[in-house]
Amino acid sequence: MYENFLAEFNKAVLESGRDIEEIELIAVSKKKPLDAIRKVFDAGHLSFGENQIQEIESKWIDFKKENTNLILHYVGSIQSRKTSSILEHCDVIHSVDRLKVIKLIKEFENSTGIQRKYFLQINTGNEPQKSGILLNEAESFIEDCKNVHNFDVFGLMCLPPIDEDPSRHFNILRGLAKNHKLSSLSMGMSHDFKTAIKCGATHIRIGTSIFGERV
C-alpha cells in the first residue's frame, strides 16, 4: 500500500506545481502493529505519527532507539498528565491547544534542555466536540505564545469538519499562518490530502492509505 500511495502522492504534488521537498509525508500508524510499521520503514520512510501515547509507549521506544534517524510526530489530543511522556518520546507535536499544555512544555524544556517542534491546533470549524483553539481566539493565542510565553510556534494544524469543503478550512489556516509569519501547515489526511497540497500543506498526515483501515 505504501508504494501505491507514494505514487499517488508524487502525482498530486506534480499536478499542484509544488516541490516535493516542501512537503513532509507522515505515515500515521494508529493501532497498527510494529511489523506493519517496519515494512514502511524498510521501504525507506522515516516520518511516522501516532495519536495515542499508549501506542508510542508500547511500540516506539525501543524501535526509535534502534533507528535514530526516524522522526516521530504526535498528532492526537494532549492529556495534561501525559504531556511529559509525549515530549520525551516524540520529535514534533501537532496538537498544542491550551495554555496549560504550553506551561507544561516550558517546564519540560527548562528541566531537560530539550526543545521539540510545536504546531498549534486550530479548530477552524469551531466544533464543540473537537480539540483545538477556537478560530475567534486564534489570533490572540498565537500572539500570546510569542510575546507573553516565549513559546516557539513552528506552525499550525487543523482537522476540517467532515461535512464541509476542506479547502475553505485549509485556506483559513494558511491565512492565519501568513498573518503570523508561520510557514508550516499540518493539514490533509487520506481523504483530502490532494486538496491540502494545493492549499499549501507542508505536512500531511496519512494513515488509511498507507496502513489500511483500522480494525
pLDDT value of position 7: 95
Q: What is the pLDDT of residue 213?
A: 80
* pLDDT confidence of residue 172: 97
pLDDT in the model for residue 176: 97
pLDDT at 214: 67
- Is residue 171 pLDDT above 70, yes or no? yes
Helix 53-66, helix 34-42: angle, nearest 10: 40
Percent of the chain with pLDDT over 90: 90
Grid coordinates representing 155 are 506552525
Domain 2-211 indexed as CATH 3.20.20.10: yes
Burial of 205 (0-12, 13-18, 19+ CB in 10 A): buried
Tens digit of pLDDT for each residue in 110-119?
999 999 999 9
